[in-house]
């Protein structure tokens, strides 16, 4: 008991917080997750490990909504995610109650990041082992946002980002191929990015879309995802053929 009140997260001699860095390692082992912000659409796409035959896939949703206009996807320890998501949902409603306004995306991101930070500076607790991607539209202004938080408690806004397994290669792909897009183009970009590291196919990807007009989170059906994946493959094949074509002629 004497050692229980010592903070788990302490500084190392060269200024690192090793627990936080280990938490980031846990994130790197988690499922790949991609978020893309378009002009009027925001998309979250998460890698889905193959579900066992007897498991009800709907109970293991990886993309959740925090409120009507905010959605969250995460990479890392899923049990930690549940706790964080519940707290964030309560905060969204509490904000509605006291301020008579829905939360802005930045506010709830700041809250989640604040929670993650608190657990790096308290005694007897370990940091949350997850990074989150938070998308949504601000109330009234209806501007789309994509934010990322990590176990250290920092957050920042992005045009497109990835976290989890192989997030570096996905991010490189996004940097090369990102351009301002809207509607289905945004969805396609997100899926293309995720397909860089995930086996192709609708049953390995979970995709959710939020548009400015509709509001609300829409999870894409497997069939829809398959269709988009097929489109992407076709485009890729056409691009390959175009590359090979001219050289054949000469």
Residues that bind other proteins (CB under 8 A): 90, 94-95, 97-101, 104, 106-107, 110, 140
In the complex, least distance from residue 97 CB atom to other proteins, rounded to whole angstroms: 7
Under 8 Å between Cβ of 127 and 115: no
In the complex, least distance from residue 104 CB atom to other proteins, rounded to whole angstroms: 6
213: Cβ contacts below 8 Å, ≥ 6 apart: 40
129: Cβ contacts below 8 Å, ≥ 6 apart: 23, 26, 27, 76, 77, 80, 151
Cβ closest to other proteins, residue 138 vs residue 226 = 138
Give the span between the Cα atoms of 130 and 116, in whole angstroms.
Answer: 9
Cβ closest to other proteins, residue 100 vs residue 249 = 100
Under 8 Å between Cβ of 184 and 39: no
Cβ closest to other proteins, residue 121 vs residue 182 = 121
In the complex, least distance from residue 107 CB atom to other proteins, rounded to whole angstroms: 6
Cβ closest to other proteins, residue 22 vs residue 107 = 107
In the complex, least distance from residue 218 CB atom to other proteins, rounded to whole angstroms: 27
Give the span between the Cα atoms of 26 and 42, in whole angstroms.
Answer: 26
- Cβ count near 163 (within 10 Å): 27
Cβ closest to other proteins, residue 4 vs residue 140 = 140
In the complex, least distance from residue 101 CB atom to other proteins, rounded to whole angstroms: 6
């Amino acid at each position: 008991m004497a050692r229980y009140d010592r903070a788990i997260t302490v500084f190392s001699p060269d200024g690192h917080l090793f627990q936080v860095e280990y938490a980031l390692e846990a994130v790197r082992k988690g499922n790949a997750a991609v978020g893309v912000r378009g002009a009027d659409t925001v998309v979250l796409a998460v890698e889905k490990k193959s579900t066992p035959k007897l498991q009800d896939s709907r109970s293991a949703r990886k993309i959740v909504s925090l409120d009507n206009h905010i959605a969250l996807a995460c990479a890392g320890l899923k049990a930690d995610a549940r706790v964080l998501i519940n707290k964030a949902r309560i905060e969204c409603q509490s904000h509605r109650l006291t301020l008579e306004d829905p939360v802005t995306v930045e506010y709830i991101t700041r809250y989640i990041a604040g929670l993650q930070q608190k657990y790096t500076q308290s005694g007897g607790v370990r940091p949350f082992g997850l990074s989150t991607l938070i998308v949504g539209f601000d109330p009234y202004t209806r501007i789309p946002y994509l934010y990322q938080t990590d176990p250290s408690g920092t957050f920042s806004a992005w045009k497109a980002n990835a976290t989890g397994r192989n997030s570096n290669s996905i991010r490189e792909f996004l940097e090369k191929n990102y351009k301002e897009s809207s509607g289905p183009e945004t969805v396609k970009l997100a899926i293309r990015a995720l397909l860089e590291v995930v086996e192709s196919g609708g049953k390995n990807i979970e995709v959710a879309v939020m548009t400015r007009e509709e509001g609300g989170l829409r999870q894409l059906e497997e069939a829809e995802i398959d269709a988009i994946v097929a489109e992407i493959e076709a485009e890729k094949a056409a691009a390959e053929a175009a590359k090979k074509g001219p050289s054949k002629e000469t």
